[in-house]
Amino acid sequence: MLFLKDERYQLIARRFRRNKRAIASSLVIIFFAILAMLAPYLAPYDPFKFSMGEEFAAPSWKHPFGTDEFGRDVLSRVIDGTGMSLAFGFLAIALGLVGGIPIGLVSGYLGRRVDEVVMRLTDAWIAFPELILALMIAGILGPSFRNAVLAVGVVFIPGVARVVRSAVLALRELDFVRAAKASGESDLYIMVGEILPNCASPILVETTIRLAYAILDGASLSFLGLGQPPPSTNWGLMVSSGRAYLGTSPWIALFPGLAIGLLVLSFNLLGDAMRDILDPKVVSFRIGA
């Protein structure tokens, strides 16, 4: 079980360093993370302070992203909302993992009847377009951060379960599992101790890409009014309230919108790069990698 000092990890780290997209997207994500953590110090103005007389100011040196209908500095609001968007993504994914990994593990490992039943159930779950399901859940529970996270997280569970299940199915017949069984290890230990660590790479790739969609879905739910209520600096909410002024002051809606796009883009790129890095088959194309 000592896998952390492996040469495999060194190989992965090296491939990561060489992959330009991976580096670039990680840097952007780290930038956003720093922004989120240091938001109170980095925001030039108070994100919630109305400033009468400065409403609808176009972007300028004083207000790089302009001001909104209450004179609030848009840049400060966007910076303030960063943490929320990141937190939403991570929490929703955490929920998806907590729910999906056990289901996938158990279903793949126990096989046959259990697997069939679980797969039919997840098929029904997946049968809904993500957004509709999340919309229903959030709509019924009421608009709040927690409910939106719940909705998006629940929607991800079947997808995670399936990825884990297919990895488990591939690993189940391998020798090290047979050896563990032969030496009398309990099923639980085998699932968690032997199989799970080896599922790490597909789970990691899936997680990174899902993070992108979690943030996207979170923004969409907030746009529709199912996230936090005003005066929150939630990006989706900012786009929605800025929409009314699109013709005259487009910056109010556009900057938060582009912020969402940039964050999601970096996670998408990272996930895509991770898939290349962790895929054993891709190695041979680069000579000397």
Partner 1 sequence: MLGPYATPEKVKILEVQLGLEKPVLVRYVSWLWKLVQGDWGVSLFSGEPVLDLVSRRLLPSMVIVALSIVMTVAVAIPLGVEAAVNRDRWPDLISTTVAFLGLSIPYFVWGLIFILVFALGLHLLPTSGYVDITTDPLGGLRYAFLPSLSLTVVYVAHITRQTRSSMIDVLTSDYIRTAKAKGLSERRILYVHALRNALLPALTVIAIDVGYAFGGIVILEEVFAYPGIGRLAYSSIIHRDIPVIQICVIVIAAIFVIANLTADLLYAYLNPRIRYT
Binding site for partner 1 (CB under 8 A): 127-132, 135-136, 139-140, 212, 216, 219-220, 223-225, 236, 239-240, 243, 246-247, 250, 253-254, 257-258, 260-262, 264-265, 268-269, 272
Dig out the tokens for 218 from the structure: 């979170």
Kindly provide the residue ranges of all beta strands, DSSP E only, lying in 65-198, ordered along the sequence.
none
Q: Find, among 151, 166, 177, the residue nearest to 99 by Cα.
A: 151
Does residue 145 contact residue 219 with C-beta atoms inside 8 Å? Answer: no
Provide the minimum distance between the beta carbon of 147 and partner 1 in the complex, in angstroms, as a whole number.
13
Provide the minimum distance between the beta carbon of 282 and partner 1 in the complex, in angstroms, as a whole number.
12
Provide the minimum distance between the beta carbon of 256 and partner 1 in the complex, in angstroms, as a whole number.
9
Beta bridge partners of 73: 67
Which residue, 190 or 237, has its beta carbon nearer to partner 1? 237
Q: Find, among 254, 258, 261, 249, the residue nearest to 67 by Cα.
A: 249
Which residue, 65 or 109, has its beta carbon nearer to partner 1? 65
Amino acid in position 220: S
Q: Find, among 272, 256, 175, 266, the residue nearest to 220 by Cα.
A: 256
Which residue, 227 or 257, has its beta carbon nearer to partner 1? 257
Which residue, 30 or 246, has its beta carbon nearer to partner 1? 246
Provide the minimum distance between the beta carbon of 215 and partner 1 in the complex, in angstroms, as a whole number.
9
